[in-house]
Structure 1
């Protein structure tokens, strides 16, 4: 469930990043998944306090966050990239596959290694805020913004060239961690 007022301002680097309970490296917490949309709440030097869509927050190395455009791309004109239903269907199937693996793991039908094999490669990301939606397209390595009618590229982890489909809106390159 998305917390009220959540507006992603950044994306976690592709390979994920460590997180801390406080701006103190001695107090680690659960790391953040790659390409997770987060909202920057506070900065203290290189430290950044971020909030996730479920209201969970943590301190991270703010220098590594990837900024996303302040506003969603406009979808009034030809910049929309198509129907959101196929991508939503893929996300729904991936979530069902993950849920099935979790149920089998909880029932003891899968051990840790089998669970890891079943879930390897699954990557799902969805933020829904009223009429606005941000959805991770794992096949294309990008986040898209949707208004319920069509999708527009919001952020990508792939190289952007001038030869790309003219139907895509300008994107913000999310460079892999080692390439900055």
Structure 2
């Protein structure tokens, strides 16, 4: 039940978060993974009703959702550089998924036990969301979600806060929300 119009408005915070079937603390459901892109569809006080790309919905404490831009920023769509070219990150995601699939196949075939499977997949983080021409990739090397429009790659959400600019001549980055700086 994926909606073709799904556009994330928020991501789940870096430590994940609990979720509920209804805005009632007595009805918990499966917790949400860190940095999961979600769409906030309704608010009731502190409660937020969210929708995931696969059509699953839940209620969360809306105060902790991390807002993301409606239109993710893109780099220069001209000549691709290593910093904006989505292909290297997509290649790493493909290799990580292939490694995980290989471990699953060996586990199912009985060639690996559960402990060896856990050790082999420990620390493996993969995240890919494709919606038409838009793609979100998790970059474990930089602990960030990146957005690609097919031509360019840009940071969408990050594990850590803003970093100091690499170029000492550049000024500080200002974070702007819909409510102002």
Pick from 99, 104, 107: which aligns with 1:105? 107
What is the Cα deviation at residue 2 of structure 1? Answer: 5.2
Q: Tell me which moved more, 16-25 or 1-10.
A: 1-10
Output the CA distance in 1 between the equivalents of 2:175 and 2:135: 17
**Unaligned runs of at least 5 residues, structure 1:** 174-180
Secondary structure at 2:43 match in 1: strand
Map of 2:57 onto structure 1: 57
Q: Which runs of 4+ in 1 moved over 4 A?
A: 77-80, 170-173
Distance 2:94 2:175 in 1: 26
TM alignment of 1:78-157, pairs within 5 A: 81-157=83-159
Local SS of the residue matching 1:108? coil
Q: 1:68 to 1:172 in 2, by over 3 A?
A: farther
Which one scores higher on RCO, CA 8 angstroms, separation ≥ 6?
1
Are 1:12 and 1:34, in contact at CA under 8 Å, matched by a contact in 2? yes
Quote the Cα distance in structure 1 between the aligned partners of 2:174 and 2:42: 25
Shift of 1:151: 0.7
Larger radius of gyration: 2
Name the residue aligned to 1:18.
Answer: 18
Residues of 1 paired with 2:118 and 2:36: CA distance? 20
1:11, CA displacement in angstroms?
Answer: 0.9
Q: Which runs of 5+ in 2 are unaligned?
A: 177-181
Size of the alignment, in residue pairs?
170
TM-score, normalised to structure 1, is 0.82
